Structure 1
């Protein structure tokens, strides 16, 4: 199946890591590709320490794109999509997560058509999850499950900073 976690609320990546944990617990190999991201996050350190069946690879520069992507962002994302397309086709992983791939399409680091082509060519036993704000309508139409995280209230708006172990 193809799952999409989108919306402006907190929890899309966290939900995808939860599913990765569940898949690993069921004995599946998991590939977790992070587009746009390039920093060390607590969940990655935990996975590297305790869950060798989950492979995390980042295709970002160490900062999140806020305004205009730089050439390095395009190169990293396109390289990442090529890697992940091969991984999706291989059948080596029961679950492949394309974290923040919606953001990558939003910033036009790669096209929606390129993303959908990679997803459609996946091995029949490979579950795919795509996360990020701004899920394009074509991706939503192609998905078997779509969950929207909607922000109702967030402490960021009260001036609270991101906290290790909670936001990163």
Structure 2
């Protein structure tokens, strides 16, 4: 990639991960090399299944206990996020990837699972030929200011409020 940028997908609305998955699939479809690191997730998802069908076009890894929101363990959750952050740093600077997606990294940062300021430092250290995509609610003002594109998904209405649980293939 000639000139990469930093993109942030944040906000309370649905679609942040979905947008990043769409970008990853589109990029892989044009021959770009993609790393997709998921924070705060440790479970099979539709996107991981789809990535697997694409062979080695998208390298995907999960870094989380999978219990960060319903049964948090601050130490275990921080260890998982820190391992993911170190892998993301390596992926970003490895020269192997054109696009690096860090899914839900903003939430991990917001919850204090990453060292203060480290996500902003990662954005500032992005090699010029790499596109960096950061998703998740609660993107910091500093990260958004440093990004080239910020999209905020805003919830207007959501069926979760009426008790509909997350559905396979739609939310995961």
Same-fold status (TM-score > 0.5) = yes
Task: Specify the alignment match of 2:135 in structure 1.
Answer: 131
Once the two structures are TM-superposed, the CA of residue 58 in structure 1 deviates from its matched residue by: 0.5
Task: Specify the alignment match of 1:110 in structure 2.
Answer: 114
CA distance in 1, matches of 2:126, 2:95: 8
In structure 1, the gaps of 5 or more residues are: none
Q: Give the TM-score normalised by the residue count of structure 1.
A: 0.95
SS of 2:56 mapped into structure 1: coil
Kept after mapping to 1: 8 A contact 2:68/2:77: no
CA distance in 1, matches of 2:155, 2:165: 17
CA distance in 2, matches of 1:162, 1:116: 31
Once the two structures are TM-superposed, the CA of residue 11 in structure 1 deviates from its matched residue by: 0.3
SS of 1:27 mapped into structure 2: coil
Kept after mapping to 1: 8 A contact 2:63/2:84: yes
Kept after mapping to 2: 8 A contact 1:16/1:97: yes
In structure 2, the gaps of 5 or more residues are: none
Deviations 1:81-116 (Å, cap 9, x if unpaired)? 111111111221010001111101111001351112
SS of 2:44 mapped into structure 1: coil
Kept after mapping to 2: 8 A contact 1:90/1:123: no
Aligned length: 168
Q: Give the TM-score normalised by the residue count of structure 2.
A: 0.92
Task: Specify the alignment match of 1:120 in structure 2.
Answer: 124
Superposed CA RMSD in Å reads: 1.4
Deviations 1:33-88 (Å, cap 9, x if unpaired)? 11111111111111112342101100001234247542111111111111111111
Task: Specify the alignment match of 2:79 in structure 1.
Answer: 75
CA distance in 2, matches of 1:69, 1:129: 27
CA distance in 2, matches of 1:106, 1:51: 33
